[in-house]
Copies of this chain bind each other. A is one copy, B any other.
Amino acid sequence: MRVSDPPGAGDGTSRRTARTRVRRNPGRASHALEDIHAVLDAGLLCHVGYQLDQGPVVTPTAYWREGNRVYWHGSAASQMLKHQSMRMPVCLTVSHFDGLVMARSAFHHSVNYRSVMIFGTSEPVSDAQEKLRQLALFMERIAPGRWDQVRQPTTRELRLTSLMSLPLDEAVLKSRSGPPVDDVADYELDVWAGVLPVTTRAGRPVDDPALAAGVAPPRGLRSLKTN
């Protein structure tokens, strides 16, 4: 880290840059890696934005984290991953929608949420051993122990899978929580105000209709944290 660099990963925070500096409601933002990790680890689906000649594209995809990096993957035939394999600027955003904030005035209605935006250049991971290790980490995140039960990827399947990575060097967390904040005079109004909480949860596992008799779902699957 150069002396002139703003605070970054070396002190447990992500870098403050023009695009991670929060101008409005700065109390709702954090650059602390510990906070950023917590929001990332509470999700499975992110949105990756990148620019094509025709304009911006935002694609939903699964992701996971190891240390100060996020990873996402997919078919090597996917248009998104073909482009990102060339190393391109991306923004990877993870958002948890926690509730609707219902105020006494229309104007002060809001949303409770936690989101992390990560800016950087997509980095393809091409080493087969590292790809295998990362895919195992991803499965471990979803269902601990399952990697050793399923048929593992063949050399061909690994080749057909593109793996992408992005460091948390330039990332920012934004969030809102708690009750509505109304104008003082509006607290007199006779209208309900509060929060409608929204949660995302895993339900009861549904067997594949082709499942052999007597094979039970892995324990702990329902407790998967997703938000």
Contacts and interface: CB of A to CB of B under 8 A. Distances in A.
Interface of A: 18-19, 23-24, 44-45, 47-52, 54-60, 62, 75, 77-79, 89-93, 95, 97, 99-100, 102-107, 109, 111, 113, 115, 117, 119, 135, 139, 142-143, 146-147, 149-154, 157, 160-161, 179-180, 186-187, 189-212, 215-218, 221-222, 224, 226-227
A95 B60 contact: yes
30 contacts: A18-B54, A19-B54, A47-B47, A47-B58, A47-B95, A51-B55, A51-B56, A55-B91, A56-B89, A57-B91, A58-B58, A58-B91, A58-B92, A60-B93, A62-B111, A105-B152, A107-B157, A107-B161, A109-B150, A146-B191, A149-B191, A150-B189, A179-B210, A187-B210, A191-B215, A192-B211, A193-B211, A195-B208, A196-B224, A197-B202
A153 B106 contact: yes
A60 B206 contact: no
Contacts of A224: 100, 196
